[in-house]
Amino acid sequence: MAVTGIIFSNIHDNNIPELTRLRTIASVPFGCRYRFIDFTLSNMVNVNIFNIDVITQSNYQSLMDHLGSGKDWDLARRSGGIKILPPNIMAGDTARQTSYTTRLEALKSVYNSISKIKDEYVVMSDCDVICNINFKAIIEDHIKNKADITMAVKTMTLTEGQAAANVLFASDESGRITDVLPYPKNFTGEADVALNIVVMRTDYLLHMVQDAIAHDYNSMTRDFINRYKDTKNFRVYKYDGYFACVSSLADYFRCSMEQITDDNARKSLFDVPNRPVYTKVRNSTPTYYSETSNVKNSMIADGCVIEGTVENSILFRGVKIGRNCTVKNCILMQDTITGENVFLNYVIADKNVVIRDGRMLSGCDVQPYYIEKGKMI
């Protein structure tokens, strides 16, 4: 069973614009040392998918720096491996003409590349699918049911904001899709939420993209699944494991904090037998804890220097906490530095932030105080 993976790196950039102003959502940091894309890449290589195309559009320098040759995911291969596919910009095109906002538009923009796929099946996934899922089980379910398209879903209880940022599906007892509700407004409650993981035959994908180009279709959900659901065998695969639904900065903060407050959430991501999560290896010194340090219930990466108090927080690589500092309920990304006598509570500091002596900054759990990348405050 030969399978190619396709990953969309920019589709949900607008969900958390604070973190994607200078990067794709694929390279948003998560869980002390990872990036969003690490989970999708790991899910693929864990089931021996080693031909992977990453479709990107803009702000992908940090993504390329993170992925490198792909060796950290065993994707530095003479045959196959990982490829970055920017939009196919022709001479005379403008940014407006070549930008995309949907998966189908993205596929249309790289049709020349995906038309060369030789594997029988494709697995397509967004990069912000934060879960540890067995892609092999989805593919086998797809083949067993002779489906045209299989969509992975999870039954979840949604807030109004979460529902408005997701596609909801209804299905019959056999798993066949009967209705589609894209990005509904004023909806709350339980529903089957699309994980934006799609399985289909490669020839079916190419036919769909050709049809989209011919008829100017732009949405896979609206123009194909909803239009042909009564005549085609479109199915759902119900996933019942942990899934972090990130549709806002508040969601990002909540899902990050679940990794230190919820043992089940952490184990469901990082402690699944035979399904490790890989990331870029960075050889750093061990974290230094001074005599004045006091750390409780926190995730701290290597290369940090801790001289103050840290509670219920996530510190990425190279963070420095000064003397007499108190850091509570915070996410401090790579190489953030605090001076002395600093108090932080419910703060998200992006990379390379400097917080000077004596600063007191505080947000709340539903609206954390965000400091943008490289800022001194």
The residue written with tokens 């050889």 in the block is 283
260 and 328 belong to one structural domain:
no
Which of 243, 270, 297 marks a domain boundary?
A: 270
Over 60: is that where the pLDDT of 98 sits?
no
Residues 116 and 71 grouped into a single domain: yes
Q: How confident is the model at residue 129, as a pLDDT?
A: 86
Give mean pLDDT, residues 151-175: 91
The answer to whether residue 283 scores a pLDDT higher than 90 is no
Based on the domain organization, do 91 and 199 belong to the same domain? yes
The verdict on residue 25 lying in a domain is: yes
| Across 218-226, average pLDDT | 92
Query: What total number of domains does the chain contain?
Result: 2
- Model confidence at 95, pLDDT cuts 50, 70, 90, reads very low
Do both 310 and 346 map to the same domain? Answer: yes
Domain boundary among 270, 296, 323: 270
Of 217, 238, 270, which closes a domain? 270
Q: Residue 96: its pLDDT value, please?
A: 46
Looking at residues 4-14, what average pLDDT do you find?
Answer: 91
Instruction: Calculate mean pLDDT across residues 277-303.
Output: 95
pTM: 0.93
Residue-averaged pLDDT of the chain? 93
pLDDT at 351 over 60: yes
Please report, for the domain that includes residue 89, its CATH number. 3.90.550.10
31 and 171 both lie in a single domain = yes
pLDDT at 219 over 80: yes
d(CA 198, CA 71): 26
For residues 356-360, average pLDDT:
97
Residue 88's pLDDT is 65
pLDDT reported for residue 238: 96
The answer to the question of residue 281 being in a domain is no
Parent domain of 128: 3-270
Quick one: 88 and 51 in the same domain?
Answer: yes
Q: pLDDT tens for residues 58-79?
A: 889 999 999 999 999 999 998 8
